[in-house]
Amino acid sequence: MVNFAGTDFRDKSVIVTGGGKGIGRATCLAFANAGAKVLCADLDDPAGADVVAAASGLSGEIVYQHADVSTAAACKGLVDWAVANWGGVDVLINNVGIQPLNSYLPAHELPEEMWDRIINVNLKSGFLMTKYAAPVMTERGGGVIINTASVQGLQSAKGIAPYAASKGGMLSLTRQLALEYAADNIRVLAVNPGTIETPLAAAGTGNDYEKLRQEGAAAHPMGRIGKPEEIASVMLFLASDSASFMTGEFVNVDGGMMAKGAWAE
């Protein structure tokens, strides 16, 4: 559970996509702990119920909604709900992301449907949520949009064409939206996690978290992988007035991974 000195999100309305598990879950709880009203959107209903229960006793609240945020109808529905119930949207966290194990293929072997699914969930959802949330933020005098990209949007690996393209796209979209909405007092930022201890990352080791921690440690100069709360705390900072002059920028939260040159041991 994270809180950040000087951040107070009481009366703020926050939407987190993919908020049921992993980084999204920690982010929902971080904002609720800072007093916010949080709308958690996910496909995994038991996970959504669990994050709602975990927020009991916090100063804010979490409401869960089942939503496939790769569709326009779902994205519009989330924003409409926040407007109807909480009067608007102050913070939008475009966190959702998928990297299915059966997508690790060279481009010529990748089914077109897999490309479309990853791009639609990871990248198009960010566009769609922004499309509906930005006018509402403008009406309210401003807001903050934070996109979860990845270190794989900056540097690549074999077999991840759609994932890398979606994350590179998120970084480019972040810059573009920052320019688009700067005059409306909407700040747009991105976070690039290194390997973080979540169900997504653990899928790669057959859900063996100990193996994930051991195998992931070597890639990070700090000698360990990260925890979801270590991304959530950066989200909280970026969304706060403490970051009031930041927009169009990304932050690597990767234990030093991107600082390491290709020549490094």
Ligand X SMILES: NC(=O)c1ccc[n+]([C@@H]2O[C@H](COP(=O)([O-])OP(=O)(O)OC[C@H]3O[C@@H](n4cnc5c(N)ncnc54)[C@H](O)[C@@H]3O)[C@@H](O)[C@H]2O)c1
Dist CA 143 CA 160 (whole Å): 33
Interface with ligand X, residue 196, by CB under 6 A: yes
Give catalytic residues, as residue numbers. Answer: 163
**How many C-alpha atoms does 186 have within 13 Å on its Cβ side?**
27
Which of these segments, 84-92, 195-203, 233-241, 257-265, binds ligand X (CB under 6 A)?
Answer: 195-203
Interface with ligand X, residue 44, by CB under 6 A: yes
Give min distance, CB of 27 to ligand X, in A: 9
What are the distances in angstroms from CA 55 to CA 123, 151, 247? 28, 30, 29
Residue pair 237/253 in contact (Cβ under 8 Å)? The answer is no
Interface with ligand X, residue 126, by CB under 6 A: no
Which of these segments, 63-71, 134-142, 154-162, 235-243, binds ligand X (CB under 6 A)?
Answer: 63-71
Give min distance, CB of 148 to ligand X, in A: 4
Give min distance, CB of 83 to ligand X, in A: 20
For residues 230 to 259, the per-residue mask of contacts with ligand X, x marking binding by CB under 6 A and - elsewhere, is ------------------------------
Quick one: which of 42, 90, 229, 230 contacts ligand X (CB under 6 A)? Answer: 42
What are the distances in angstroms from CA 114 to CA 71, 86, 110, 167, 204? 16, 36, 7, 15, 17
Quick one: which of 12, 14, 20, 186 contacts ligand X (CB under 6 A)? Answer: 20
Q: Which amino acid is at 101?
A: L
Interface with ligand X, residue 121, by CB under 6 A: yes
Residue pair 13/142 in contact (Cβ under 8 Å)? The answer is no
Dist CA 215 CA 198 (whole Å): 14
Dist CA 238 CA 20 (whole Å): 21
Interface with ligand X, residue 164, by CB under 6 A: no
